[in-house]
Amino acid sequence: MQTQPNQSVSDVTYVREEPKLNGLHCPECGAELMDTTPNTTYTSHPAQMKIKCSNCVYEGWRFI
């Protein structure tokens, strides 16, 4: 990793990904689902996002 003058290696910015409600309903309890990492898209074919339920323990994937 190259650094600029007067910049240390520890000067790093992290993007915090907060789960966001996506308007889809949980197949188990009917509550609204959340995208767990909304800034991350898994580049499968078709592309997917990881989801979880805002109410129960359901987790899965959705196509985008």
Task: Quote the CA–CA distance of 55 and 45 in Å, as a whole number.
Answer: 29
* Strands of the sheet with 59-63, listed across from one edge: 20-25, 32-35, 48-53, 59-63
What band does 45 get if pLDDT is binned at 50, 70 and 90? Answer: very high
- Quote the pLDDT of residue 7: 58
pTM of the model: 0.70
